[in-house]
Structure formats: C-alpha cells, structure tokens
Structure 1
Amino acid sequence: MSKMMKIIGAVAVINIVARMFGFLREVVIGNQYGTTTTADAIATAYAIPNFIYLVVGGGLTTAFISVYHSTRTDKSLYVRKSFTTVLVAAVSITAFLMIFTDPVLKLFFNNRSAEDFALIRNLYLWMMPSSIILVLSTWMSGALNINGKYNLSSMAVLLYNAAFVGIAVLLTKPFGAESYGIGAMIAAILMGGFLYVGFRRSKLYSLKPSFGMSDDVKRLWVIALPILFGGASLQFYILIHRIVAAQFDAGVISAVNYASKSTGLPQAILMTAVTTVIYPLLSKKEGEGDMETIRKLYKKGMLYLVTLLAPATAVAYFFAEPLISFVFERGEFTRESTLLMTPIFQVFALSMFFLAANTFITRFYYAKANSIVPVIFSVISVLGINIAVIYLMKDAFGASSIAYGTFISAAINFVMLVIYARVKWKL
C-alpha cells in the first residue's frame, strides 16, 4: 500500500469516528430531552450558526485552495490576505446576526412560546460566536491539507465533536439545556486553538493580517460566490426542516432533526468510503485530460454508491422502528418519541442514495470547472421543488412531508445532474 493510500485511509477512519461523535451528541440530547420543546430549542438554536460554518467556511476554503494552486504571486502574501478576507467575512456576518438576534430568530421561528423563545435566544447567543472560530478552523484545515498535514485537520473535527458532547453532558446539571450552547463555544475554541498551534508548529506561513484587495483575493471571491450559493442551497434543506417543523406540535423539530441526522450518518460514512477510493484519482486524471479514465471513475463510483447504499436504505426503511428504539429509546426518549420519529425516518432513508450521489456527481462538475450548473439545479430542487412538495403534502402527511420534500427534490436533482453530465461530457 502506498504512503498516500495509508494517509487517505487514516484520514477516512478519523473522519468516520468524528462523525460518530457528532451523531452521539444527537443520541445524548434524545436521552436527556427526548422530543420536547427543550430538544427543539437546541436543534433550532444551532441551525443558523451551523449554516454559517458550513456555507461560508466551506465556500471560502474551497475557493482559497483553488486560487492557491494557480497563483503566480507570492504564496505567503496570498495566504495572509485570504486569511484576513475569511476573518473579516466571518466576523462581519456573525456580528450582523448577533446584533439583530431577535429579528433574525423571529423571522425564522416566530411561533414559539415566550419561554421557548427565551431558551432558543440564550442558546443562540452562546453558539453564534463559535461560527467565527469554526469558519477560520475550516480555512486553516484547508491550508494544512494542501501542505500535506491531513491528520491535523481530521483530528480537529474529532476534537470538536467529542468536546462538544462531553462538555455539554458535564455541564448539564448546573446549566441545564444551555450546557449545549456552552459546549458549542468551548469546543470551537479548542478546535481553533488546536489548529492554530498546529499551523504555527508546522511553520508554513504567517497569519498576520494583510488588508487590501489583490487580484488573487478578487479571484477567490469570483470562485467562492457560486460555491457559496451552491452550499447555501443544500444547507437550506436543514434550515427549511427547522422552519417548517416549527409549525407542527412540540417535539417535531427534534424528531425531524434526529431522523435526518440518523439517515445522514450511514450516507456520510459510505460516501467517505467511496471518495477515499475515487477522489484522489479524479483531479489527477482531469489535469491529464484522460476522459476515458474519468468516465470509468464516474461509473465505478456510482456503482459503489448503489452497492453500499441500497442495502443500507432497505434496512433503514424496513427496520426503522426497532433501529430507532435500540439507538434512542431510553431516558426521556419515550415510546411515543419513537413512534413520532419512525415515519419521518423511513422517508429520509429513501433520500440517502440521492443525496450522496448528488454530492458525488457535483465533484465531477467542479473538476470540469463548472460550478454554475449544480448551483442552478440545487436552487431549483431545494428552494423550488422541496418547498412545493412540503406544502402540497403537509396536510395529508404531516411532519413526514418535510422528509418527502427532501426525498423527491433530491431525486429530481439527481436526474438533472445525470442527464446534463451525460449530454455535456458523455459521463
């Protein structure tokens, strides 16, 4: 086994363990608060900070890496300027969302009781500042990865997820549900500090701020904006889940959250297995212009996804109730919580292949320097078809309509991506 494959394998294992800790957090919340308004508040408060972390952090970091590989200017200066750009963007967005806390929360979650809204607000104010650190951590992870320091970035995510759940549990007795806000903040600080120390010890580049709009920074934004819109449209699934679920009875927000996270875990783990095999070869073959190998990688990856996710989907769908009971049903997560979550979980299970396949196919679009088309398809699917399906099925299917929206829109998005890739590149 080559050294690179050993590194990739180690990173994949660490990422899987990190995701398991992230899922453990949901299990613990279920054990402590079940499907109550308190569990709803925790899921609701985390929605917007997590949105900023994934969309802004992911988009700017992806663009940073793209420009880094092609810049003809001094890389040290580019790193400093891009770090400053990411820092300013993260602080500006977070400050705006914190200054207008009440209008923002009421815009999305305006039908909560005064007591529930107060808890959401307190949790939000704890969690929101962590988005600055998380965005910067994502950028530092990208900078470390392009310099071969893969383990540092993977360990940082593991540290964050483990610390988040550990601190929240330890502080539950004195602080109650607000321990999850405190846990989010402390875990982000630990993650950011870990990466910063690793960055400094690696002696790669200075992170001293450098202001001014260079040509490379302009290119960074040109590349980042389509990726930001694409990432935002996908993350809108989660935000829409929270907003629509808030219109149902108490406990539906947390039930939808547990169901989506539960079906997202095998999808993410199996996607990691496929990407470990496929992605290291993709960019290399694209650079060489080897279309025949790229087509084989595309077909092989799709075959792997079907082989891995079809059985996982069948098991999740047909054994939904015993699976949920085994994983969640203890403490405050009662039999009633299991029955509430089961039909939602079953429909989300049907979307696992399509969500994974859409992510997989989109990477081929990015390799072809085509980031606009996936964004258009995502916007149509998530903000058009998804919302339409939810509201058309809402009265007949209740909370399960949220999952049906994800399933049907993801399937249609998959069809559009496949057809366009077939016509454009014969994939």
Structure 2
Amino acid sequence: MSLVKKFATVASGTLMSRVFGLTREMLMAAALGTGPVADAFNAAFRFPNTFRRLFAEGAFNAAFVPLFAKEIEANGMEGAKRFSEEVFGVLFTVLMALTILMELSMPLIVRTVIAPGFLDDPLKFGNTVSMAIIMFPYLACMSLAAMMSGMLNSLHRYFAAAVAPVFLNVILIGVLAYAWYKGHDGIKIGYGLSWGVMAAGLVQLAIVWFAVRNAGISIGFRLPHFTPNVRRLLVLALPAAITGGITQINLLVNTNIASGKEGAVTSLANADRVYQLPLGVVGIAVATVLLPELARALRSGNLREAGSLQNRSVEFILFLTLPAAAALLVMSEPIIRLLLERGEFTAESTRRVSNILAVYGLGLPAFVLIKAFIPGFFAREDTKTPMIYAAVSVVINVGMALTLFPLMAETGIATAEVTAGWVNAVLLFATLVWRGHWGRDIPLLTRIPRLIFSAGAMAFALYYAIHWAAPYLASHTPVHIQAPVVFGLILLSMVVYFALAFATGGASFGMIRRNVKRGSKAPPPPPEGPAA
C-alpha cells in the first residue's frame, strides 16, 4: 500500500472523528455557550484528555511500536503476544493505582493545577471537581486502547484505531440530543456529558481489543513483572513521556491561566475543536503511519527509503496545511459564526473564538510538521532530543502566556502556543539536518516557496471575496443563507489555490501519481488468525 493510501486510511477515520467532534461542539455551544457550566466541563475534561493525548498520540506508541515490531521480526507472533502481555500487566496495574490516587486528590488538583481561577465561584469549582472525578477513568481506558492501537499499527491495520475515537463524539452527541428532548438545564447537561465521556472510554477500548483479537493476538493478564523487554520499554518511554508531558503542560498551564477570566477556557476549547479538524486529519495520519514505516526502513538499512518517506511526508503536509492555515487566518469569523453562533453562543462569543482561531491558523503548519519530524528521532530510539526541545517550547509558552494574558486575554495564550510550536518545529528539523538524518530533496525545496506563494495569493483573493460577501455573513443573516456563502468561499479558495499550485509547479500530477502508486517494500502483515 502506498504512503498516501496509508495516510488516507488513517485520515478517513480521523476525519470522521473530527466531523462528529465539530457537530458535538456546535450542539454544546448552543446548549451551554461560554458560560460557567461550559467552563467547568471543559476544564474538567482537559485533565484526562491531556493524558489521553500523551499516551494515545505520543509517548507510549513512540516507545512501544518499534519494540513490538522488532519482537514480531525476532520471535514471530507468539513473541509479540508475550511481550504485549508483559506490558499490559504493568500498564494496567500502574493505571489503576494512578486513577485511585487522582480520584482522591481531585479537589486539590483542580484548586492548584487545573483551574485555580474557579475558586472565586464555589459552584463552578464544585462542578469542575465532580465532573473531573467522573471522567478521569477515561484515561485508563484510553491508555490501554493506545497500546492496542500501537499493535494494530505495527500490523498495518490502521482503520480500527483511527475510527474508535468517533464513538466519543457519537455518544456525546446522543447525550446532547437526549438532553434537548427532555429539556434539561445546563447542570444536568454538564453531568450527562461527563458520564458520556466515561462510557465512551469503555466503548473505544472494546473496539480496539476486538480488533487485536481479530488480528490473531489474544492478550491475557499477567502479574506485573519488570522483564528485560518491559525495562527497555520504560527506558525509551520515559523521555518520550516527558516530551509529550511537557507539550501537554502547555495546555494545562494555559487552562490554568485562562481560568482567571470568565469564558476564556471555553473560548480556547471551541477554537481548538475547529483547528483540530485539519491538524488531526493530516497530523495524526502522518504520525501514525510514518513511525512504523520509518522504523521498518531503518531496521532494513534502507536509508534512501527512510529519507524519501520523510520528504514525501513533509511535501504532503505542506500541500494540504498551507492553504488551510491561510483560510483559518482570513475567514475564521465566518466559520465560527456559521458553526457555533446560536442559542447561548452570542456574537461576542464569535468574536472572541474567531480571534483565537485566526492565531491558531498561523501555527497549523508548525504543529503538523512536528508530528512528521518526531518519528525521525523515535524510529532511531532517540526520545531524549525531542524531550529537550519540548522543554524549551514549554518555557517559551509559559513565559509568553503569563506576559500576554493581561494584555490580550485568551488571544495572548493562543499566540504563546503558536510561537512555542514554531520554535519546537525549527529545532527538530535543524537537528535532523545537522545529524544527516534528513537528506536534501531538490524537488521539495523548489516546491515549498511556490506553495507558500499559492496559499498567500489564495488568502488575498479570499479576503476580498469575504469583504464583498459581508452582508450575507452578518450575525442577523439566516443560516440557510450563510452556509452556501461560506461553502462557496471555501470552494473559491480551493480553486484559486490548486490552480496556482499546479500552474507554478508547487504541485504536479506526476508528483501525486508517484506518491499514490509508490508501494511500500514492507513485507505483508501476518495473516489473520482466528480470534483466540
């Protein structure tokens, strides 16, 4: 299967999740707006979700996937099963202990880490603590699911792990629909959503567990023992966990700072949900596929293929994210107004969230490129260098957020995140080049400025088109008029961008054809065995 086809397999599942997530956010915005219940839920959900991102998209897979793939090569499926059971025993035990500790400490954690700004509102503070207690077991479910997703990715079975997150949003949409039908107030909706998160964790874990069984591996529970394999995993995972943990500290610190202003936590969460659509679809797809592919190429000593994988990934990323970044920068307000401005979500909420989204657009290429650069370290079992650079970025983020929040409110926090992201991306790329792990690719170097020009020209065209269409995009305009205008603007921007990209040589049909047809030299995955 070609690299692009593998990206598309993962991206299709991620796209489903992001689209349902946007639908969920639209319903939540209408039901809760940016009020105190929305702030409480988003702050409470941030804590387990931070750990989910750490385990599911970062540290665990970074360490587990290369070792699991090695075990398959060295000892076959039976050795891989034994290794996975050893890891599962330790991981399950640690997660249970962590969950109990966090549940008992939740009032202290909310007071000191998550949202100290809520202390002035006892009702909001109490709701945040209660919702966080309900949702925190979601972490254990998603961490175990991350391990099984890593196994599936190593076996070249990408879809189940990519589609499982859809069910979080499906369940939460169901909760919101039921609440609307029953006429529940904000408090009941907030607690219903919290229980929905908990249920979604169990469902997602069940999906990947059955997928692993269908792949021929049945994981049994073993008492935790620190075997040589587990110790090697911990040696690799600890720096990667710190790397991911440092990155997620940015989010926790930003939530902590934003809790000092009414509605700021929810405004950041709303903008993040829209921005996660292109980031998740492209970034997670690239990171999920690139790590096992790079690890395989490096194990076989094929440095030329490893370099090609990295360059084609960056080419794919820039081709798709540069126009998305330009569009978010120019038309963030019409997008937010169409998606969210109804019910409790006011025109002032639209203004605040669209300002944040425009800033996030500037950081979109950086955050997706980070996901393409990090596998170049992790596939070589170097998890320390990204940890150091992530630490640098968090210092920049915290310093800028504390400085800018009093001046720019939540927009200052977004500016700090974006600046830190670009610094991290530049450091990662420069190190890969300096070590000789990133070969010079002349076609890629000539395409980048042409793609930037195409995206910039598209942004100018879109800016003037929005100005012309302003009467049809105003707050008082009905949705059935706004929607076709917004989609028309998106279609216009796509036509302008792709026409310029192909006309200037930033992209070519030959390039796309080569990438789509480019077959991986990896051996086929093991045949499906019966579920044990």
- TM-score normalised over the length of structure 2: 0.74
Mind listing any 5+ residue stretches in structure 2 that lack a counterpart? 439-532
Equivalent residues of 1:65, 1:143 under 8 A apart: yes
Aligned to 1:94: 99
Deviations 1:28-58 (A, max 9, x none): 2112111111111111000111122222455
Equivalent residues of 2:38, 2:266 under 8 A apart: yes
With 218-227 and 232-241 compared, the bigger mean Cα shift is at 232-241
2:232 equivalent to 1:219: yes
Aligned to 1:387: 398
Aligned to 2:408: 397
Aligned to 2:387: 375
Equivalent residues of 2:62, 2:378 under 8 A apart: no
Deviations 1:129-160 (A, max 9, x none): 22211211222222333344433323322223
Q: Residues 143 and 421 from structure 1, CA distance in 2 versus in 1: closer, same or farther, beyond 3 angstroms?
A: closer
Q: Residues 6 and 307 from structure 1, CA distance in 2 versus in 1: closer, same or farther, beyond 3 angstroms?
A: closer
Q: Cα offset for 1:363?
A: 1.2
Q: Residues 8 and 397 from structure 1, CA distance in 2 versus in 1: closer, same or farther, beyond 3 angstroms?
A: closer
Taking only aligned residues, the RMSD between alpha carbons, in angstroms, comes to 2.4
Query: In 2, Cα distance between the equivalents of 1:189 and 1:281?
Result: 30
Aligned to 2:247: 234
Query: In 1, Cα distance between the equivalents of 2:287 and 2:148?
Result: 22
Aligned to 2:501: none
SS at match of 1:319: helix
Equivalent residues of 2:287, 2:375 under 8 A apart: no
2:352 equivalent to 1:340: yes
Equivalent residues of 1:64, 1:82 under 8 A apart: no
SS at match of 1:204: coil
Query: In 2, Cα distance between the equivalents of 1:289 and 1:50?
Result: 38
Aligned to 1:415: 426
Q: Which amino acid aligns with 2:429?
A: V
Query: In 2, Cα distance between the equivalents of 1:198 and 1:309?
Result: 31
Query: In 1, Cα distance between the equivalents of 2:160 and 2:247?
Result: 27
1:270-285 matches, within 5 Å, as 270-271=282-283, 281-285=293-297
Equivalent residues of 2:292, 2:379 under 8 A apart: no
Deviations 1:7-45 (A, max 9, x none): 664343122112222232222211211111111111100
1:125 to 101, 124, 133: 133
Query: In 2, Cα distance between the equivalents of 1:228 and 1:133?
Result: 18
SS at match of 1:343: helix
1:137-216 matches, within 5 Å, as 137-171=145-179, 173-174=183-184, 175-200=188-213, 202-216=215-229
Aligned to 2:519: none
Q: Residues 187 and 209 from structure 1, CA distance in 2 versus in 1: closer, same or farther, beyond 3 angstroms?
A: same
Q: Which amino acid aligns with 2:232?
A: R
Mind listing any 5+ residue stretches in structure 1 that lack a counterpart? none
Aligned to 2:494: none
Equivalent residues of 2:66, 2:292 under 8 A apart: no
Query: In 1, Cα distance between the equivalents of 2:310 and 2:209?
Result: 37
Q: Residues 161 and 340 from structure 1, CA distance in 2 versus in 1: closer, same or farther, beyond 3 angstroms?
A: same
Q: Residues 320 and 392 from structure 1, CA distance in 2 versus in 1: closer, same or farther, beyond 3 angstroms?
A: same
With 260-269 and 276-285 compared, the bigger mean Cα shift is at 276-285
SS at match of 2:435: helix
SS at match of 1:100: helix
Q: Which amino acid aligns with 1:254?
A: T
Query: In 2, Cα distance between the equivalents of 1:121 and 1:136?
Result: 24
How many pairs does the alignment contain?
A: 424
Query: In 2, Cα distance between the equivalents of 1:77 and 1:304?
Result: 37
Query: In 2, Cα distance between the equivalents of 1:416 and 1:127?
Result: 36
Q: Which amino acid aligns with 2:163?
A: M
Q: Cα offset for 1:286?
A: 2.2
Query: In 2, Cα distance between the equivalents of 1:68 and 1:307?
Result: 32
Q: Which amino acid aligns with 1:59?
A: A
Aligned to 1:114: 122
